[in-house]
Structure 1
């Protein structure tokens, strides 16, 4: 597959993955099993949803700048959730920078937290015909002091249990990876490498798994072998699915779009096709939350519409998101100047890792994604005095404390 489907995949995950999630089984100590359809809809802030949507498109466009010649697939919700968990420990300018990147500037903490607390059980009960599971967990190096309030808010708001683990053991990474594998129905089986570096004190993990059948499936006998004009100028042989009937369709000056619902219709895949001759990367540059809303507003049901969509599988990552997130304004979080004092002392985000996979066929779609925020101690710096710039000097009598000479060297003449 090629870059023709960049906006399709981004919009799919923005709509579908934000459209439903539930907790996955986790280790002992989790209260995720308490999730049910009981929630307060009024506490799901539209401002928080709007912030996550803006972040989705901003993040996608940033990655497209870096990987514009590749297929791209992310779960914005997974990234947002893992970072929102980490955000609970940020303070000062680090918190401000993360808020800017995530779109939380102007949002009170209580708004962000109550929204996530109610959003998860709401999405959990969205559609009993769609399987969409979200799981969160916090893994702490055994013996490390992480502030209890930070762990409590992640447990109560994000349903994330805290698992204390001896990171020095060879099987530590395997245990974390096993949790991710179970949370993604074995679609993502490895994210953390062994051995875990000695400075790593914590992992904050989010995992999402989605599987939904089309509300109106494609008939396999109508799938044919045909040509696909790839973004690199080559022609691929693909298996093209086809169906005709009632479909929500929209178009604009430079695009066509369809909405393909799953299950009971509350989650859907939106496919957006730029007009012929318009480069996909140029179209991606025009995407933002407002444009996304305009695309959705253009949709209307058509009685007889032919839809042809290739079957495809796509895998993206493991992608290190540090540079992308720094470009969005939260670079301080990755440096020794990071302030995560509400989490612990002298720590910073060393890596934000993301991986996603998708398979689309006649029956429906299966998608999985995981995001890991790795937190490390700030290493002690080697002391050094390197006089490679102007400096002062003093010559003194140390018995009496008398300053004998004092000077400033601005340039060196030898």
Structure 2
């Protein structure tokens, strides 16, 4: 796979933008029914106002924390993720977490101090709002819960996922040969065939549930590149080599910003409500060191630096990128939610002795003269641990046999049965 390090960040920030594009205007609030006779614009504004700024801020912190953690693991590889997909799938699972497991997940996901009701209300309004963000941009967000047939999953957990995340809940005989194929077909349909396999067959016998999020995005640039201006050139890779690329090019009005160690552009899609941000570190900077310096505050400072300029020469490679299937267990554990992956996990809101066995993620993107097409899927695999062993108890309150033996030779020296026990 070709390495295009200066583009890694813009791809990931484009995905995180989908979760954070409304951070400046979203307000906290309760999830009240949309008033009757409200027009589409009013309903859209009403829904946006129910999205908590705290939840958006938490999602943004999680996006950068996860991205930086993955960069530590895959510093010499392309990276592309949908933080929104990961956080949504884990927030679906979070509905059943309790005690220290819930606290650890809240810390990792950026939800510490956020009441359950506020979190639920925000997601209940955020996901539908994003789907209708721009009528010139296609953004589909789908959720599903697949339960092993016959498992006793707590109804309140399933109801919460249906109500908050509009998740389709499907009981399925995981032992059937086509069970994994059925789940994979759902993922394929939800991502327009961009991701066609996340679940391996046969499904292990101890897996009782999958919680899956899928996102599909397709947006045309507000101002497209002229294909005739695209030219072949070389791209300097992060390891010092070069790759041949087709470089898109245009000159004119561009939303551009810069700082002491970066340049940035904002490339809007459709009517401009969503955009790709591309951030280019200074020529002597190491991309991984730059990523390590990023957080929500610096991201906001980068955005604040951007303004429309009349004349900017813009060149951006045409590229395709695929990342995954990536197991996120180690990255999420490093962010503090390791307990959820152990048999000490407390998901009592789902059922007894439940833990997360794997969180898998895959994302793909294609960027060309017309715009961008991207998809991502996250699968949270749930297993049921063996019931904890009861503490052994030896209570000699009835007749028993006793033996005194020489353990060196195995010779039984004495042997008896206590049939009646009186005071000694």
User: Per-residue displacement from partner, 1:50-106 (whole Å, max 9, x unpaired)?
Assistant: 000000000000000011110000000000000000000000100000000001000
- The residue correspondences of 1:24-43 to structure 2 (distance < 5 A) are 39-43=46-50
Aligned to 2:249: 242
Aligned to 1:124: 131
Match among 53, 57, 62 for residue 64 of structure 2: 57
CA drift at 1:380 = 5.2
Distance 1:149 1:218 in 2: 50
Q: Confirm whether residue 15 of structure 1 aligns to residue 17 of structure 2.
A: yes
Alpha carbons 1:94, 1:339 under 8 Å: kept: yes
Aligned to 2:280: 273
Runs of 4+ in 1 over 6 A off after TM superposition: 381-385
Distance 1:231 1:282 in 2: 12
Alpha carbons 1:350, 1:376 under 8 Å: kept: yes
Give the match's secondary structure for 1:311: strand
User: Per-residue displacement from partner, 1:295-338 (whole Å, max 9, x unpaired)?
Assistant: 00000110011100000000000000001101100000000100
Match among 323, 326, 331 for residue 338 of structure 2: 331
Give the match's secondary structure for 1:40: helix
- The residue correspondences of 1:313-324 to structure 2 (distance < 5 A) are 313-324=320-331
Give the match's secondary structure for 1:169: coil
Distance 1:100 1:384 in 2: 33
User: Per-residue displacement from partner, 1:91-149 (whole Å, max 9, x unpaired)?
Assistant: 01000000000010000000100000011121122100000100000000000010000
Alpha carbons 2:220, 2:270 under 8 Å: kept: yes
Greater Rg by CA:
2
Distance 1:193 1:327 in 2: 26
Alpha carbons 1:19, 1:126 under 8 Å: kept: no
Distance 1:18 1:144 in 2: 36
Aligned to 1:213: 220
Match among 5, 8, 17 for residue 6 of structure 1: 8
Match among 340, 351, 370 for residue 363 of structure 1: 370
Aligned to 2:348: 341
Distance 2:93 2:75 in 1: 29
CA drift at 1:17 = 5.5
Distance 1:131 1:322 in 2: 30
Distance 2:387 2:101 in 1: 20
User: Per-residue displacement from partner, 1:148-174 (whole Å, max 9, x unpaired)?
Assistant: 000001000000021000000010000
Alpha carbons 1:358, 1:365 under 8 Å: kept: yes
- Long gaps (5+) in structure 2: 23-39, 393-403, 405-416
Match among 299, 307, 313 for residue 300 of structure 1: 307
Give the match's secondary structure for 1:57: helix
CA drift at 1:400 = 4.2
Distance 2:193 2:48 in 1: 32
**What is the TM-score normalised by the length of structure 1?**
0.88
Larger deviation, residues 2-11 vs 370-379: 2-11
Distance 1:240 1:401 in 2: 96
Aligned CA-pair RMSD: 2.1
Alpha carbons 1:227, 1:237 under 8 Å: kept: yes
Alpha carbons 2:132, 2:139 under 8 Å: kept: no
Give the match's secondary structure for 2:49: helix
Distance 1:301 1:382 in 2: 65
Distance 2:158 2:199 in 1: 21
Aligned to 1:374: 381
Q: Confirm whether residue 354 of structure 1 aligns to residue 361 of structure 2.
A: yes
User: Per-residue displacement from partner, 1:358-384 (whole Å, max 9, x unpaired)?
Assistant: 000000000000000000010357999
Alpha carbons 1:311, 1:361 under 8 Å: kept: yes
- The residue correspondences of 1:84-233 to structure 2 (distance < 5 A) are 84-233=91-240
Alpha carbons 1:319, 1:354 under 8 Å: kept: yes
Q: 1:339 to 1:275 in 2, by over 3 A?
A: same
Larger deviation, residues 36-45 vs 339-348: 36-45
Alpha carbons 1:19, 1:123 under 8 Å: kept: no
Alpha carbons 2:340, 2:355 under 8 Å: kept: yes
Give the match's secondary structure for 1:153: helix
Distance 1:384 1:322 in 2: 31
Alpha carbons 1:85, 1:158 under 8 Å: kept: yes
How many residues were matched structurally?
Answer: 379
